[in-house]
């Protein structure tokens, strides 16, 4: 059986989702738990990776079940073995052709920044703001990023040059919530660092250090060197993966 799982995690203590040789990735921990359950090595495939200190409420992965266990039993068994900051939310039997990455239709990310810089609990989960942001200018700038574009300017320099850079950003919302500013992004996919770089750029607009039209120009240039803004990772959350 192909088992599809949804997992939530606090990413602050980890070097990202992907397993790595010299650092601890969340994938490694989940695979080790499944190996104990199935008594043999298990490889899981996620919808995509999240970077160090980035969180998830709705990351999705799949694996091949080699034993006679029902999905609900996998949830119970994995959560008994996983640390408290990694929690399986649900599991289900998926169609044979399901693939957590390639079957994905869209992803939704949230980003949280806060004016409450004296909150000692916020540093793990929000990005600090030290001046008031201009909401109108940020919304104007965000309008240039919505739609299907080549997002080369808002991507990591480490991305394979052969990888397609065209993505469709369907939604960007920016709202004040108490002492926080919440950003919401949804698209058919995102390049590495794209959400954080878009957020960092929008915050610079909100600080009036750059103008909304500067964001449009960055996009049009399709050049990794024109955007140097990258919001801190701890404010980013993978909220939902749609299939």
Please give the Cα distance from 178 to 235 (Å, whole number): 16
Q: Are 181 and 114 in contact (CB under 8 A)?
A: yes
Residues 138 and 38 in one domain: no
User: Per-residue confidence of the chain (243 residues) as pLDDT tens digits?
Assistant: 999 999 999 999 999 999 998 999 999 999 999 999 999 999 999 999 999 999 999 999 999 999 999 999 999 999 999 999 999 999 999 999 999 999 999 999 999 999 999 999 999 999 999 999 999 999 999 999 999 999 999 998 777 667 889 999 999 999 999 999 999 999 999 999 999 999 999 999 999 999 999 999 999 999 999 999 999 999 999 999 999
Residues 175 and 85 in one domain: no
DSSP string, 155-174: S-TTS-TTS--EEEEEEEEE
For residue 205, being part of any structural domain is answered with yes
Please give the Cα distance from 34 to 5 (Å, whole number): 12
Residues 157 and 182 in one domain: yes
**Which two tokens mark 11?**
């990413």
Other beta carbons within 10 Å of 158: 8
Q: Are 116 and 181 in contact (CB under 8 A)?
A: no
Residue 20 CB contacts under 8 Å (≥ 6 apart), including other chains: 28
Please give the Cα distance from 122 to 111 (Å, whole number): 13
Residue 34 sits in a domain of what CATH number? 3.30.70.580
Cα distances (Å, whole numbers) of residue 4 to 46, 63, 75, 96, 241: 10, 7, 11, 11, 12
pLDDT of residue 162: 74
For residue 153, being part of any structural domain is answered with yes
Q: Of the residues 94, 119, 153, which one is the last residue of a structural domain?
A: 94
CA angle 108, 113, 118 (to 5 degrees): 150
CA 15 to chain centre: 13
Residue 17's SS3 state is coil
Residues 167 and 200 in one domain: yes
Residue 109 annotated as binding site: yes
152 secondary structure, DSSP code: G
Residues that are catalytic: 51
Residues 110 and 88 in one domain: no
**Domain that residue 209 falls in:** 106-242
**Which two tokens mark 13?**
């203590």
Residue 113 sits in a domain of what CATH number? 3.30.70.660
Q: Are 21 and 202 in contact (CB under 8 A)?
A: no
Domain count, the chain: 2
For residue 188, being part of any structural domain is answered with yes
């Amino acid at each position: 059986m192909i088992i599809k799982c949804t997992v939530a995690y606090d990413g602050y203590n980890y070097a990202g989702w992907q397993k790595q040789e010299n650092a601890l990735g969340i994938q490694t921990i989940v695979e080790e738990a499944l190996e104990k359950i199935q008594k043999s090595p298990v490889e899981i495939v996620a919808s995509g990776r999240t970077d160090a200190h980035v969180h998830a409420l709705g990351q999705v992965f799949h694996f091949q079940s080699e034993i006679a266990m029902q999905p609900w039993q996998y949830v119970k068994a994995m959560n008994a073995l996983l640390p408290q900051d990694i929690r399986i939310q649900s599991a289900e039997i998926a169609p044979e052709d399901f693939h957590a990455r390639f079957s994905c239709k869209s992803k939704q990310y949230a980003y949280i920044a806060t004016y409450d810089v004296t909150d000692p609990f916020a540093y793990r989960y929000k990005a600090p703001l030290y001046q008031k942001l201009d909401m109108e200018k940020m919304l104007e700038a965000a309008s240039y990023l919505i739609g299907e574009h080549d997002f080369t300017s808002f991507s990591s320099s480490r991305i394979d040059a052969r990888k397609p850079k065209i993505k469709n950003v369907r939604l960007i919302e920016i709202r004040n919530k108490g002492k926080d500013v919440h950003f919401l992004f949804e698209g058919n996919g995102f390049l590495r660092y794209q959400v954080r770089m878009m957020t960092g750029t929008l915050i610079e607009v909100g600080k009036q250090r750059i103008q909304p039209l500067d964001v449009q120009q960055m996009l049009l240039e399709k050049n990794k060197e024109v955007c140097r803004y990258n919001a801190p990772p701890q404010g980013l959350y993978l909220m939902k993966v749609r299939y």
